[in-house]
């Protein structure tokens, strides 16, 4: 209305133009600002003469027993009436709301552009008209507009983890989010550290954020900084998503982010921790992760789920098994890449792919296997804290010509494709991604872990051997002598079924 009035005046009074109104403060105050500049000057003078308490908390709504007009309050009125502290509190709330609304509309289309323009007009006009953000009758129209424009059909999904360095959990997260149909869902990943080789593999239409964890050496300061960061995240993102998932079981930060971001929340458990901890430690591990606050607890293997429900029977109804994904097309393409290393003729080649950590992987068993069985060799792909120890053992046993350490490889598949057997000699696992990769590449598997998931029982797809090194040698010799074919499975069909299950979870509010 304030914009239309000057047009009427210009028509009726030839000596007054719109440009003249804008340039002349008196005319601007009279015809557009509705005398609000006059009131503003008076209020500013009162505020200037007020005491420090009033400057902090405001001069209020009365002056000389007369009530100040609270309908046409612009930003300056709010500042003078509420003071510095009140002004900050008022607009911090508005900024948080704006952030949450805009964060949900980052996927640009025509409606979102119109929404952003509308918001900009609301912000500008609320300064000119002084009623949009304080008058219920005016602000209600803006609220209806915002609700209409933000009523998207897409659901918002959040996945939280530690980082995207090369690793089994990390690659599984990448493969999962890249399979999600982005025409139906908006996907956000929040990491403790926004770093890692897998960052570049994430679909560009997926949002990646970080919620950094302080590493300050002073414990008190570190805890304070982390508390403030987590508090701010909670305020901004509380129940802000239709689905949230803690993808790194061990991460406290990822756990908290998933719990507060949605009531439709899940936690992925990638390992069987009963093999790592005593019963008391196992129970405490999951209690400190607030496991009972998750709507669903997803395991990658039946064994891990069963061991969990034995100790947390009251949560049994929340548990399920949904294994990881692999990128079938990418693995098939990468496996054809040419490398200079070639398998030796007349030797049986074993290939290990994984983290070099003897507390779980026990690669020493595979090294001993090569020592005891002639005409065999071992390629070790990976890195970890015990790499040097494995290299020293290899050198001590005089096996350097038969055991080769290749280090961490972004593309291990040209090495795997040459293997006669992919081998795992671990003490415990969940359901290793390398199982799926080996099945896809039609590789024989020798393993100490007889795990199973919702569709695959590894007893049907691998040779299961003893963890005892002497028994293992005997059993592997027998396998090499009496080789038999194992079952195969259509992973494309399996993953399609798995994605349907996950979408049901995404949509369950």
Per-residue pLDDT of the chain (509 residues; tens, 9 = 90+): 444 445 444 455 555 655 665 566 666 656 565 566 667 777 778 778 788 888 888 887 755 555 555 556 677 777 878 888 888 888 887 777 677 666 655 555 555 666 677 777 777 777 666 666 666 666 666 666 666 555 556 899 999 999 998 788 898 999 999 999 999 999 999 998 898 989 999 999 999 998 877 777 888 888 888 888 778 777 777 788 999 999 999 888 899 999 999 999 999 999 889 888 999 999 999 999 999 999 999 999 999 999 999 999 999 999 999 999 999 999 999 999 999 999 998 899 999 999 999 988 999 999 999 999 999 999 999 999 999 999 999 999 999 999 999 998 989 999 999 999 999 999 988 899 999 999 999 999 999 999 999 899 999 999 999 999 999 999 999 999 987 777 889 999 999 999 999 999 999 85
Q: What is the DSSP string of 323-364?
A: -----HHHHHHHTT---S--PPTTSEEEEEES---TTTT-HH
Of 335, 497, 324, 498, give the one whose Cα is nearest residue 412: 335
Domains of the chain: residue spans and CATH: 33-149 (no CATH), 155-327+499-506 (3.40.50.2000), 341-489 (3.40.50.2000)
Place of tokens 């081998």: 423
* φ/ψ (deg, to 5) at 138: -85, -45
> How far, in Å, CA of 308 to CA of 245, rounded?
19
C-alpha distance across the termini of the chain, in Å: 43
pLDDT at 26: 66
Q: How far apart are CA 267 and CA 283, in angstroms?
A: 16
pLDDT at 30 (0 to 100):
63
Picking from 216, 158, 213, the residue whose alpha carbon sits closest to that of residue 190 is 158
**Cβ(39)–Cβ(71) under 8 Å?**
no
Instruction: Calculate the alpha carbon distances from 76 to 39, 86, 128, 212 in Å.
Output: 11, 12, 11, 36
491 φ/ψ angles, rounded to the nearest 5 degrees: -70, -30
Residues pairing with 329 in the sheet: none
* 190, 158 contact by CB (below 8 A): yes
The angle formed by the CA atoms of residues 407, 410 and 414, to the nearest 5 degrees, is 85
Cβ atoms of 356 and 383 closer than 8 Å: yes
Percentage helix, strand, coil, to 5, in the chain?
A: 50, 15, 35
Q: Tell the burial category of 46 from Cβ atoms under 10 Å away from its Cβ (0-12, 13-18, 19+).
A: middle
How far apart are alpha carbons 267 and 254 in whole angstroms? 10
Q: What angle (nearest 5°) sits at the alpha carbon of residue 335, between those of residues 333 and 336?
A: 70
Contact 371, 397 (CB under 8 A): yes
pLDDT for 352 equals: 98
What secondary structure letter does DSSP report for 132? T
Using CA atoms, how far apart are residues 392 and 263, in angstroms rounded to an integer? 51
Give backbone dihedrals phi and psi of 344, rounded to 5 degrees, phi first: -75, 145
Give CA–CA dist 503/500, Å, rounded.
Answer: 5
């Amino acid at each position: 209305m304030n914009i239309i009035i000057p047009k009427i005046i210009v028509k009726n009074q030839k000596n007054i133009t719109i440009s003249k109104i804008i340039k002349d403060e008196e005319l601007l105050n009279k015809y557009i600002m509705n005398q609000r500049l006059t009131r503003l000057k008076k209020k500013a003078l009162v505020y200037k003469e007020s005491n420090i308490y009033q400057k902090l908390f405001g001069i209020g709504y009365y002056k000389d027993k007369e009530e100040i007009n609270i309908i046409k309050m612009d930003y300056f009125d709010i500042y003078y009436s509420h003071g510095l502290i009140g002004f900050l509190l008022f607009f911090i709330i508005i900024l948080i709301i704006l952030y949450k609304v805009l964060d949900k509309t980052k996927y640009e289309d025509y409606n979102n552009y119109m929404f952003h323009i509308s918001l900009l007009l609301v912000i500008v006009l609320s300064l000119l008209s002084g009623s949009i953000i304080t008058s219920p009758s005016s602000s209600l129209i803006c609220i209806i507009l915002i609700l209409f424009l933000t009523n998207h059909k897409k659901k918002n999904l959040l996945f939280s983890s530690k980082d995207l360095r090369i690793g089994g959990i990390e690659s599984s997260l990448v493969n999962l989010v890249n399979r999600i149909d982005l025409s139906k869902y908006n996907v956000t990943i929040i990491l403790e550290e926004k770093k890692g080789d897998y960052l570049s593999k994430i679909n560009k239409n997926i949002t990646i954020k970080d919620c950094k964890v302080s590493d300050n050496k002073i414990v008190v300061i570190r805890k304070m900084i982390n508390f403030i960061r987590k508090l701010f995240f909670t305020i901004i993102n509380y129940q802000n998503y239709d689905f949230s998932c803690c993808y790194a079981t061990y991460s406290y930060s990822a756990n908290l982010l998933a719990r507060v971001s949605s009531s439709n929340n899940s936690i992925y458990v990638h390992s069987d921790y009963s093999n790592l901890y005593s019963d008391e430690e196992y129970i405490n591990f999951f209690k400190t992760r607030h496991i009972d606050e998750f709507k669903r607890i997803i395991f990658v293997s039946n064994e891990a789920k069963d061991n969990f429900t034995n100790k947390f029977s009251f949560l049994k109804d929340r548990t399920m098994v949904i294994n990881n994904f692999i990128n079938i097309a990418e693995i098939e393409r990468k496996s054809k890449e040419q490398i200079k290393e070639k398998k030796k003729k007349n030797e049986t080649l074993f290939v290990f792919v994984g983290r070099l950590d003897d507390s779980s992987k026990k690669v020493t068993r595979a090294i001993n296997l090569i020592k005891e069985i002639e005409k065999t060799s071992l390629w070790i792909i990976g890195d970890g804290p015990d790499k040097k120890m494995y290299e020293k053992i290899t050198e001590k046993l005089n096996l350097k010509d038969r055991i080769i350490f290749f280090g961490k490889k972004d593309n291990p598949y040209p090495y795997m494709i040459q293997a006669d057997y992919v081998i795992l000699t671990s003490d415990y696992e969940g359901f290793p991604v390398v199982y799926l990769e080996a099945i896809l590449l039609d590789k024989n598997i020798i393993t100490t872990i007889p795990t199973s998931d919702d569709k695959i029982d590894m007893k049907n797809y691998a040779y299961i051997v003893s963890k005892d090194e002497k028994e293992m040698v005997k059993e592997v010799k027998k396998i090499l002598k009496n080789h038999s074919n194992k079952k195969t499975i259509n992973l494309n069909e399996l993953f399609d079924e798995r994605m349907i299950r996950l979408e049901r979870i995404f949509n369950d509010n």
